[in-house]
Chains A and B, each alone.
Chain A
Amino acid sequence: MSASREADSAGHRLASGGPAPRVHGDRRGWTRGVLGLALVLPPLLVLAFLVILPAISAVVTTLTPAADAVPAAPLANYAEVLGTRILRTGIVFTVIVTLVAVAAVFCLSYPLALYLRFVRTRMAALLGVLFMVPLFVPVVIASFAMITFLVGHGLVSTVLYHLGIERFPRLVYNATGIVLTEVWVSIPFAVLILGAGLQAIDDALIDSARDVGAGPLRTFLAIILPLNAAPTMITLTLLFIAIFGSFTIPYLVGGNAPQMLGVTMTSYLTQYLRRTESATLAVIAFMIASVVGVVYVASVSRRERAAP
């Protein structure tokens, strides 16, 4: 027993605080395995009940044809939803707004993350605090704040009016408003993930690239970008899924038509009481996001495997 404990602890020391080493064949390892599974079971059950089961339930609901449908085609609900022009327009609108917003967040966040990683000035420290502010503002408040800021007689128009500019495109209650607010809300999240990845890049690598004569652009393209590939993929996919599945921002800041899927889904569910159509839209959203989600899980699991 004590020998096994010692071997065990030596293993732990080698792993230096990493996950417990595999202990095969002895009774203690087996008990620990059962204990481990027992401890992780409760949150897994919650996850199964609140994520997996609803998702399956939604798919089953949408594949079950309505009682009065003759003949009962299994994909009738999907045919009906995709045959409705306004819903088709909504899906396309959602994808386009999401892609534009993801691109905008990314183009703002990557330079910011690079700057915070490589510059140690007071201005950088200030930026490092400033960019985190939206993280602590609930999305409902962020949307409302954005409205008061951008609306016809809001602060932006007032300032522009005093600068002599009276005609400019509408900034809110349309796609522009949605994109601006999504960007506002998403910046901290993107900078944090990208920054965590950049932090993990060894300074020595960058120094040695410079020593062999690589220019900054080359250093970025050849060293930083590939080494930060996994966090970049994670950022892009999480941004896509989060913005694609958003409701609050398009509901409050968006226009009446076309609407993003999140708004349509919710009004079908709570106002028109058409649960099946709503669930069908949800499953369609799952399918579009799952293509992106696969990339996400693959990137994360590659990183988890690489971790010590």
Chain B
Amino acid sequence: MHAAWFVAVAGLRRALGIGALLALAAFILGPLATLLVWAFAGTWLFPNLVPEFSLKWWVYVLSNADVGKAIRMSVLSAPTATLLSALICIPAAYAFARLEFPGRRLLLLSFLSANAFPKIGLYVSIATLFYRLNLMDTFAGVVLIQLVNTLLFMIWIPTGTFRGININLEEAARDVGAGPLRTFFQITLPIALPGLIVAALFAFIAAFDEAQGSLIVGTPNHITMPVLMYALVLSYPQPVGAVFSVLLSLPSVILLLATQRYLRAGYLAAGYSL
């Protein structure tokens, strides 16, 4: 087998042996493990390896009024942004995959432009525009900031999915007399669904986790959960930030577990093999 040969002779196997695996695991999981322990620590004094466990910080965080407001704000804004994104992007993705129109390739590429700007520079520019349009510190402003982060996922993953569907199936439905809309809803959409779910999942996570743009546009009255995290990290004891981190991760973790069967490498790679 060429694969074994390639690695054995290249010495890659030695370089990426058990030691490397452990180092990588420690580097990737270490910070998360520390965070998780802090979330259930009452006090953790140096140089003890284990803290005194307690749930008192959970009570503190969950009874905090700012936390409640931030949760409400996130739960309202991220689904709104994801839904809006799906409504405008999925028909567009179908058009990119199936219809021929002038400038198709260039327009598809233009969705990469959001990635061709340094994010923070883009947000500062959006803020200068939003000041003029009175969109600063509004719900609409926060949703728009989240929306811009979802576009790429919602255009590129569905475009790839629609392209991957055998056109013969659609043609066959049309040949037996189904109209274009019926063909789309009864043939194309069900086949494309897993790809669309993955796209929506990524769009939601991107919207829900957006922090830096919402910090600029939403402060001081439209604070989402990730934005509140800045204040918690900078001016509260460590367990508070840790407890809130666990809360903030919950929606993404639950969604990932619920949709894990759709998250086959293919769809994920489709989003990244831009």
Contacts and interface: CB of A to CB of B under 8 A. Distances in A.
A138 B248 contact: yes
B96 A282 contact: no
Interface in B240-257: 241-242, 245, 248-249, 252-253, 256
Given A144-B233, A216-B9, A242-B119, A12 B99 contact: no
A302 to B, nearest CB: 11
A222 interface: no
Interface of A: 5, 9, 12-13, 15-23, 29, 32-37, 39-44, 46-47, 50-55, 57-58, 61, 111-112, 114-115, 118-120, 123, 126-127, 130-131, 133-134, 136-150, 153-159, 161-162, 184, 187, 189, 192-193, 195-197, 199-200, 203, 206-207, 210, 215-217, 219-220, 231, 234, 238, 241-242, 244-248, 251-252, 261-262, 265-266, 269-270, 275, 278-279, 281-283, 285-286, 289-290, 293, 296-297, 300-301, 304-305
Given A37-B101, A46-B151, A120-B3, A300 B109 contact: yes
Contacts of B21: 123, 126-127
A247 B120 contact: yes
Interface residues of B, number: 111
Given A192-B268, A206-B6, A265 B124 contact: yes
The 10 closest A-B pairs by CB, nearest first: A245-B118, A36-B99, A36-B101, A196-B273, A145-B31, A153-B46, A39-B95, A138-B209, A58-B125, A54-B125
A19 B162 CA distance: 10
Contacts of A35: 95, 99, 101
A196 B272 contact: yes
Interface in B15-32: 15-16, 18, 21, 24-25, 27-32
B34 A270 contact: no
Contacts of A297: 109, 112, 116
Nearest to B3: A118
Nearest to A8: B171
Q: Is the interface of A mostly helix, strand, loop or mixed?
A: helix
Contacts of A55: 117, 122, 125
A32 B112 contact: no
Nearest to B145: A50
A289 B12 contact: no
A35 B92 CA distance: 10
B113 interface: yes
Nearest to A9: B171
A47 B151 contact: yes
Contact of A50 (B30, B38, B126, B253): B126
A13 B226 CA distance: 48
B183 interface: no
14 contacts: A17-B164, A40-B101, A50-B144, A137-B32, A139-B211, A140-B233, A141-B248, A147-B233, A153-B47, A241-B115, A247-B120, A262-B118, A300-B274, A304-B105
